[in-house]
Amino acid sequence: MDQQGMDKRRLAVLVGCNYPNTRNELHGCVNDVLAMKETLLTRFGFKQDDMEVLTDEPESKVKPTGANIKAALRRMVDKAQAGSGDVLFFHYSGHGTRIPSGHPFKKDEAIVPCDFNLITDIDFRELVNQLPKGTSFTMISDSCHSGGLIDNEKEQIGPYSVSDDKPLAMETRTTMTPITSRALPFKTVLDHLSSLTGISTSDIGTHLLELFGGDAGLKFRLPAMDLMDLLEKMTARERHVDAGILLSGCQADETSADVGGGGGKAYGAFSNAIQTVLKENGGALKNKQLVMMARDVLERLGFQQHPCLYCSDQNADATFLSQP
């Protein structure tokens, strides 16, 4: 390994939300992040002390609330050094949702922490904008509606720029393994928050601010004009030098599958596809290669979801997690 590779710091935040003993319960999310943790340690040179793992298992001391996830991500960014080539990684397995954006025909993507304090695509864009120059932030989101979770990130592989001419996969699975969607409809999220606040309004921001105050997402905390200014600054950024890399489990209008929960070991379909590709290919893989191979695995197994890649042109051809 060259000196630069030796000096790189590899930092990770891994989040798995199974929502145990609720009507929204999933089964494979904690398994996803534990499998990824092992892969980071054994293949990609990450160290135990440079990883934070947040799960909602009963024995977990730090739960994956919205505030705790954002605090862990902020700590990770604060540790990164400018010009170092530091590799930052965030894996999320759990529910995703889409919420009104304030613009007709457009919705914002969000992940759903265990306390329903939504983290939106705008929050992830703001995080990427804070990265020290010369570092990278790779995000895997095995959740529904995860395409576009870093706002205004350039699409490399997605619904509008597919890299091959194969038709979309149809549902062909014949197994009886239980399959659960990792999607929470907006109404489900709104009804849950309304039950906590007791406020009768369809404005989700009102509920989030009432429940979480300053820990609510940027979209809900900033006045409309300030948010517009922020979004304009984001749009003006040069996307070809952007440091954000998003590998999403599906397109923005699709759902991601949570598999199992019966007798077998549960997992996320996309997370499992990533692990399968890495095991079948021992060498370094480009981000673009990894996503296309994961698409092939899911199609082969009959899953009707299409992983996407959002990043700069340069990072599309960069090695996944800068594997030595």
Which residue, chain included where needed, has tokens 């199992």? 260
Q: Quote the CA–CA distance of 291 and 142 in Å, as a whole number.
A: 12
Structure tokens at 133: 């120059």
Name the β-bridge partners of 40.
Answer: none
The pLDDT value given to residue 287: 98
The pLDDT value given to residue 161: 57
Instruction: Indicate the burial class of 186 (C-beta count within 10 angstroms; 0-12, 13-18, 19 or more).
Output: middle
> Do 113 and 192 contact (CB within 8 A), yes or no?
no
Q: Quote the CA–CA distance of 56 and 265 in Å, as a whole number.
A: 18
Q: Quote the CA–CA distance of 107 and 96 in Å, as a whole number.
A: 13
Number of H helices, E strands in the chain: 11, 13
Name the β-bridge partners of 11.
Answer: 88
pLDDT averaged over the chain?
89
Q: Catalytic residue numbers?
A: 95, 144
Pairing status of strand 10-16 against strand 87-93: parallel
Least confident of 144-158, 194-208, 228-242, 309-323: 228-242
> Do 71 and 127 contact (CB within 8 A), yes or no?
no
Strand ordering across the sheet containing 136-142: 51-55, 10-16, 87-93, 136-142, 244-248, 308-310, 155-157
Report angle CA 247, 249, 250 to the nearest 5 degrees: 110
- Best mean pLDDT range from 59-63, 102-106, 218-222: 59-63
pLDDT tens, residue by residue, 267-320: 999 999 999 999 999 899 999 999 999 999 999 999 999 999 999 999 999 999
DSSP secondary structure of 141-198: EESTT-TT-STTPPEEESTTS-SS-PPPPP--------EEE-B--HHHHHHHHHHHH-
- Buried b vs exposed e over 188-209: b needs ≥16 C-beta within 10 Å? bbbebbbeeeeeeeeebbbbbb
Q: Quote the CA–CA distance of 10 and 320 in Å, as a whole number.
A: 12
The pLDDT value given to residue 3: 38
3-class SS at 140?
Answer: strand
Whether the model pTM is above 0.85: yes
CATH 3.40.50.12660 applies to domain 3-184+214-322:
yes
Which residue ranges make up each domain of the chain? Answer: 3-184+214-322
